[in-house]
Structure 1
């Protein structure tokens, strides 16, 4: 078994969605077991990445230029610290916060695109990992592998990388890439400066794009707020109208109850009158019969 072989397998596996990882890892281990049992065993040991680590790995695959831009900015910030250039350090710090925030936001969109949406705490861990990679060259190399197993965190100037990268350690930073403690870093070459300017321009475009998306989202939010206010106003108006109708209904029902009582009273009077008519008709009939009897000859 070679580290390169394990690294190649790990690179492929850590490009998958977290829900695909375990089945694919086991299938790959089974496929190589007949030819290389040691490699199969190491593949089975590969751990499923945390959501934040998975998302940082995907940023390396799908947003490589943006990630490299902030890692280069981190290297410049470390050099500025070595020179104790306070003004440059402050400006780099501002750029660093803007870029990390923009890229963490873009990571959320990327997760949606890849069919594995994440929540805000995961994006916070992504930003934390990017900050750690900017503060430490070895952490930057770990991010560049695209095989992170867990999120990274800078404690002071230290970043714990134990068991952070799958498939073998991250390649070491080439000598001279980052200033060592107590050493004065060499000034970057013209080609390196040109490359960094190009990368910074790309990073600034990423910030501008992120700010444009934020402005569009803010405008959409304002429009939705206006629609919500209209809906709430309409709801209040309908509620008021409902209350008015309910009050009117109560009045009509009271009037209807009074009409029912009046109808029953009239009906009772009518019944009494009908009975009086019947009695009077009987009396009249009896009177006619008596009169007829008197008129008969004796």
Structure 2
């Protein structure tokens, strides 16, 4: 059995790549490993290419770790405090979760563009679905934190199916530690859990505000680029119209040149005929003068 950390290290490196780079890099790594550890090479070769949504979640873990951790912490604290919040607080918590997940999904689209692998809206929907699952289940949160997701996650009720969802070895069992602090905890512990839950909500709110601010800045930049593009389109249309006008003028001039060429050739032919006629007339005149002179 290959060391778990060696397989995990290989998976961590491979799942940081773009999906279109994954297969070639995996095969190359397996080949380079085979001479030292054939079993590890075989396990590496079994690693599956991540789905677009899983790849993007893995990149968010690497490039937007603060926002991801804010979501996962909020989910953990909400699960622990579920029975102690009233209906109003739970409703507000639900709204905050949706805002945070939506903001992170939008940021995921921007990150995909930055990394040179833009995705479509259905992929971003799967990203949001994965984070909703991670907020509802501790093991799913651990799967997201690993950065080695192979497929998107989905919560069905309170259950999240994690079979074959993570590559490269087992996950840490953080969920069991969370479950240990159940309803039998002392009042002081429950109060501390409530404080941590509210602190997580505050961190999540700050993360939402930061993500929404970046989204607003990106939208403003997009509008500025769109305005410049519209100006460029107008300028191109003007130049195209000018080109068409000049091409029409060129066609007219070329037609006039062709007419002038034809007229020039016709006049040249007339000139040649006139020259021949003049030469013949000169010959006739010479003959007439010679005849006259002979009579004298």
Alpha-carbon distance change, 61 to 178 in structure 1, aligned in 2, over 3 angstroms: farther
Write the distance in 2 (CA, Å) between the matches of 1:157 and 1:167. Answer: 24
Kept after mapping to 1: 8 A contact 2:77/2:200: no
Return 102-111 or 22-31, whichever deviates more.
22-31
**Alignment TM-score, normalising by the size of structure 1:** 0.72
Q: How far does residue 143 in structure 1 lie from its aligned partner after superposition?
A: 3.5
Residues 134, 210 of structure 1: alpha-carbon distance in 2 compared, 3 angstrom cutoff: same
| 1:258 Cα deviation from its structure 2 partner | 3.0
Q: Do structure 1's residue 175 and structure 2's residue 179 form an aligned pair? A: yes
Q: Give the match for residue 218 of structure 1.
A: 219
Q: Distance in 2 between matches of 1:251 and 1:41?
A: 74
CA deviation after TM superposition for structure 1 residue 85, in Å: 3.5
1-structure distance, mates of 2:71, 2:43: 31
2:267 paired residue number: 266
CA-to-aligned-CA distance 1:87-138 (integer Å, 9 cap, x gap): 323322222122223334555666788x785634555433322110112234
TM-score of the aligned structures, taking structure 2 as reference length: 0.72
Which protein has the larger Cα radius of gyration, Structure 1 or Structure 2? 1
Unaligned runs of 5+ in 2: 16-21
Q: Partner residue of 1:254?
A: 255
* TM-fit CA distance, 1:278: 1.7
Greater shift, 122-131 or 170-179, is seen at 170-179
2: distance between equivalents of 1:90 and 1:266? 98
Matched ranges for 1:1-298 at <5 A: 7-18=4-15, 19=22, 20=25, 47-48=47-48, 50-51=50-51, 52-53=53-54, 56=57, 59-60=60-61, 63-78=64-79, 82=83, 85-107=86-108, 117=117, 119-120=119-120, 122-144=123-145, 148-165=149-166, 167-168=169-170, 170-171=172-173, 172-177=176-181, 189-295=190-296
Alpha-carbon distance in structure 1 between the residues aligned to 2:280 and 2:112: 97
Count of residues in correspondence between the two structures: 283
1-side partners of 2:87 and 2:246: how far apart? 72
1:123-166 CA-partner distances (Å, limit 9, x unpaired): 54333221101122342344445554543211233211234455
Shift of the alpha carbon at 1:66? 3.1
